Amino acid sequence: MPRVGVLALQGDVREHVRTLETLGAEVVAVRRPEELATVSGLVIPGGESSVIDKLARTFGMQQPIRAAIAEGMPAYGTCAGLILLADRIADGIRGQETFGGIDITVQRNAFGSQIDSFETELTVAGFDEPVSATFIRAPRVVETGPAVEVLASLPDGAIVAVRQGALFGTAFHPEVSGETRFHELFLDLVAARAS
Ligand code: GLN
């Protein structure tokens, strides 16, 4: 089983490490370029995307992550992680940047203050059974380029899971509800690239 990383600058790192370890992966908390160089795939956790962006730039991680993504490293982002994998943010705070890689525009905190957090059952392309999805101050995808596959939408049409090649992201947090299928997909992409 190849070694994978969870970007550990801010956010719910531990939940992702635990989920990946449950699936038998060897997992590294990635904070520095030297650690990134040892992994074959990267999970970008939920948290606060503007803070993760700032810390990534401060610690010299932005360019190495962009380079790894450009070389085809599989990556999975949840919530803030999805924002960081988006090529564009509709409403980023001033100067906010992303790693990019998925040809989408995201809107942060897209579900308003009354419904900051909610849970719902979602049908996801490629999964036999629905997913119990937890949304916490979640983004939504407001534009998708031609190479982007929509994996899940809410009943109102809001796109909440997308994939482009070896990169994918969910606006919700499977790692907090014991859902493991997205992490399995991530590990499958890592294994496919290694073979
Ligand atoms: N609202 C957060 C952001 O913009 C994301 C929230 C989350 O990751 N749960 O980064």
Nearest-angstrom CA–CA distance, 76 and 93: 23
For residue 195, the model assigns a pLDDT of 76
pLDDT in tens, 93-139: 778 999 999 999 999 999 876 568 899 999 999 999 999 999 999 99
Task: Please give the distance, rounded to the nearest whole angstrom, from the Cα atom of residue 138 to the centre of ligand 1.
Answer: 6
Task: Give the mean pLDDT of 53-82.
Answer: 98
Quote the CA–CA distance of 23 and 185 in Å, as a whole number: 11
The better pLDDT of the pair 95, 188 is held by 188
Residue spans of beta strands (DSSP E) within 26-185: 26-30, 42-44, 75-78, 86-89, 102-107, 117-122, 131-136, 140-144, 149-153, 159-164, 167-170
Whether domain 3-194 has CATH 1.10.3720.10: the reply is no
Instruction: Quote the ipTM score.
Output: 0.95
Model pLDDT, residue 2: 83
Report the C-alpha gap between 5 and 121 in whole angstroms.
Answer: 28
**Ligand 1 in reach of 48 Cβ (< 6 A):** yes
pLDDT at 1: 74
Which residues are the active-site residues?
79, 173, 175
Domain ranges of the chain: 3-194
Question: Which residue CA neighbors atom 8 of ligand 1 most closely?
Answer: 46
- Predicted confidence at residue 94, as pLDDT, reads 79
The yes-or-no verdict on residue 70 having pLDDT over 70 is: yes
pLDDT at 162 over 80: yes
- Degrees to nearest 5, angle at CA 183 with 187 and 138: 140
Q: How far is the CA of 93 from the centre of ligand 1 (A)?
A: 12
